[in-house]
Amino acid sequence: MISQDMSSPLEAPVCRRCGMCCLRGGPTLMVEDAPRLVGGVLTLESLVCLRVGEWARDDARGELRPLEKEHIKVAGLGGQAHPWRCRYYRDGSGCAIYAQRPVQCSALFCMDTAPLETLLGSEPLLDRAGALKALGGEAQLPGFPDLNAGTRALLPDLIAAHEEQSLVAPVLEAAARLGFTPRGTQGYGEGMEEGEERQALLGDLGEAVRADAAFRQLCVERAGVPAALLPFLLGRPLQDLLAEVGLRPTSSATEEN
Ligand code: SF4
Ligand code: SF4
């Protein structure tokens, strides 16, 4: 539990660097963070794109809501206790990149969220196009020295083609119509489909999952995209996003938990 040090009522509370916020999740990146990509402090391999329509916590409203803009986030390490634990957090020693930590980390203070809210309200978020543009002048993509120029030139087109084919929002909206939303959300699962419409929707979701998986496979096998780059390039698979809300598609059909 985080508690304020009350040893002197005249002293303003300060960050104790307990790391709890780092365990709960790494930052999303702002345009101002682009130099950290160019310098190799953050590599694309360490990032994941959260796409429009994905469920994410809106700290200002204190609730989960579908994202209205894409976010680039430091990818979590998985695991039961803290699945979004920042990969740069080290037990015992704290942030491995503290001197060059992302701007949201510098602004975040759990006892006073005003600086972070000001930052989020005044500065633009970094998106995939912005990140690739920032890296455009680099001879090699940091973290991927063997990526050939032809594949690298294809990356923006692959993002665009995937967005055209495999949007997140309609898939998670369809899941919500079937009654599958994250725990603690209200109002998104109303008007649940029944009968034939429900079966049709389940079939559509299974097809969307298959198309997304096939696109990813083509990127790796035909276009030569390193698999480690896919979370940044295409975000998380639709299959994983549906599993998060309790729908587990299979190769032949979509099964409900
Ligand atoms: S801002 Fe983070 S590291 Fe600092 S006291 Fe709060 S939870 Fe701990
Ligand atoms: S980059 Fe550093 S300060 Fe920011 S969440 Fe990760 S470990 Fe914490």
Extract the tokens encoding 244: 């998060």
Q: Is the Cβ atom of 96 under 6 angstroms away from ligand 1?
A: no
What are the pLDDT tens digits along the chain (257 aa)?
333 444 455 677 888 889 999 999 999 999 999 999 998 999 999 999 999 999 998 766 678 899 999 999 999 988 888 999 999 999 999 999 999 999 999 999 989 989 999 999 999 999 999 999 999 999 989 889 999 999 999 999 999 999 999 999 999 999 999 999 998 776 565 556 677 888 899 999 999 999 999 999 999 999 999 999 999 999 999 999 999 999 986 545 445 55
- 3-class DSSP state of 66: strand
**Domain chopping of the chain, boundaries:** 1-145, 147-257
Give, in order, the Cα–Cα distances in Å from 29 to each of 60, 75, 77, 118, 230.
Answer: 18, 11, 17, 15, 18
Q: How far is the CA of 89 from the centre of ligand 2 (A)?
A: 6
| pTM exceeds cut of 0.75 | yes
DSSP state of 124: P
Task: Ligand 1, residue 111: give the atom nearest the CA.
Answer: 6
Torsion of CA 119, 62, 71, 17, to 10 degrees: 60
DSSP state of 137: T
Element (H, E) at 190: none
Give the separation between CA 229 and CA 233, rounded to whole angstroms.
Answer: 6
